[in-house]
Amino acid sequence: MFSKRLDRIKPSATLAMTAKAAELKAKGINVLNLSVGEPDFNTPDNIIKAAKNAMDNGYTKYTPGSGILKLKEAVCNKLSRDNKLLYNTDEIIISCGGKHALYNACQVLFESGDEVIIFSPYWVSFPDFVSITGAAPIFVDTLSNHQYEPNFNDLESKITSKTKGIIINSPSNPTGGVWSDAAIIRTLEIANKNNLWVFSDECYEQLVYSGDFQSIANFTDNKDKILTFQSCSKTYAMTGWRIGYTAGNKDIIKAMSKLQGQSTSCPNSIAQYAAIEALTGDQSQVSAMAQIFNKRKELIVNGLNSIEHIHCEVPNGAFYAFPNISYFLNKTYNGQIINSCDDLSLLLLNEKYIVTVSGEPFGAPNNIRFSYATSEDVINQMLTGLREFLALVK
């Protein structure tokens, strides 16, 4: 009944866990939800006020398909201010979130017969964005003890005449890894040598805990084949507003605009006006949120590492801890065999109401993802429950 295209993708595993947690909560169960991929703070007041003003002033109509000029100007100023990147407004498109932007770019550039490099562990949506175009995602290993930087031998060995693009996500979901300058430069050299499109998903750019974030396009004079994706979602706690943007070569931006005009018409008008305030207004909330995340990161990573047989690398960005739980695989809990990290994640949910996301959909069968976009109290309760649970795994 349905097109073959649909068979090439899977439902989002992270959204599925969020839905499951909501279901349990609706039944009155005190779930410890560490599955969410969004800040637990509300959108800052100045941004909400800007949205209200937009409605009062009648900005409730369609906008140009690729976004309003004032927001594109705000994006250009933001990229120059925060990322030292110089772009003109015709090199910017506003989309319905970073996800939509990445999806559009894949649609515009990739097709059947192409191969696209994705670093594993990867954000769940990358392989699907590529597969739905007919292209093949090609997975490259990373080094967990080096902030999940690429295994360059693997990278070089996976590039073929069909390779058309490479998707980088630093800081990363699910690992929290942030690549060093050296790793970025080497990756860009390889991409350049092989004439690849480089996608840099920088939606966690403001959540880096030691050192400054450097936008990938900053590492080369030839930005022509680099697309930079950023978003208001994580930075300004605006996940529901759906505003993300892309900076890149104006021909690609034009092509993405053409596609967007025939799919979503335009991003939400009110949210675009709110995004102008987000990008140009008071930025103090951004660093305040990052400081809180950093404190929680210490709590959760130290707590996880204090549990016997769990090993968690210290992530330098985003809001995820991604411990290795392989010791517990093929062991039993109350007579039930834990065959996979899916099983472990499910048992944690059923036995302790701890909601996590298994590493499987991220291409990491030995890990589980814990989001620390939640209170210290929830993190502490989770650590107690996890400790109790694992003590019974034999």
Contacts with ligand PLP, residue ranges (CB under 6 A): 37, 97-99, 123, 169, 173, 201, 203, 231, 233, 239, 244
For the chain, how are helix, strand and coil distributed in percent, rounded to 5?
45, 15, 40
- Residue from 268, 234, 283, 245 nearest 47 by CA: 283
The CB-of-172 to ligand PLP minimum distance in angstroms stands at 7
Q: How far is the CB of 270 from ligand PLP (least distance, A)?
A: 17
Nearer to ligand PLP, 230 or 285 (CB): 230
Smallest distance from ligand PLP to CB 127, Å: 13
CB 366 within 8 A of CB 141: no
Instruction: Label the pairing between strands 354-355 and 32-33.
Output: parallel
What are the E-state strand segments in 215-350? 226-231, 244-247, 320-321, 332-333, 336-337
- Residue count of the chain: 394
User: Whole-number minimum distance, CB 81 to ligand PLP, in Å?
Assistant: 20
Q: Which is nearer to ligand PLP, 63 or 104 (CB)?
A: 104
Residue 214 or 231 with smaller CB distance to ligand PLP: 231
Handedness of CA 216, 222, 226, 227 (dihedral sign): positive
User: Which residue number has the CB closest to ligand PLP?
Assistant: 97
Q: Where are the alpha helices (DSSP H) in 69-158?
A: 69-83, 98-109, 125-131, 152-158
User: Which CB, 105 or 310, lies closer to ligand PLP?
Assistant: 105
Tell me the CA end-to-end span of the chain in Å, nearest whole number.
47
Judged by beta carbon, residue 271 or residue 301, the one nearer ligand PLP is: 271
Tokens coding 327 = 């010791």
Q: Least distance (Å) from ligand PLP to the CB of residue 69? A: 21
115 vs 201, beta carbon nearer ligand PLP:
201
Smallest distance from ligand PLP to CB 1, Å:
29
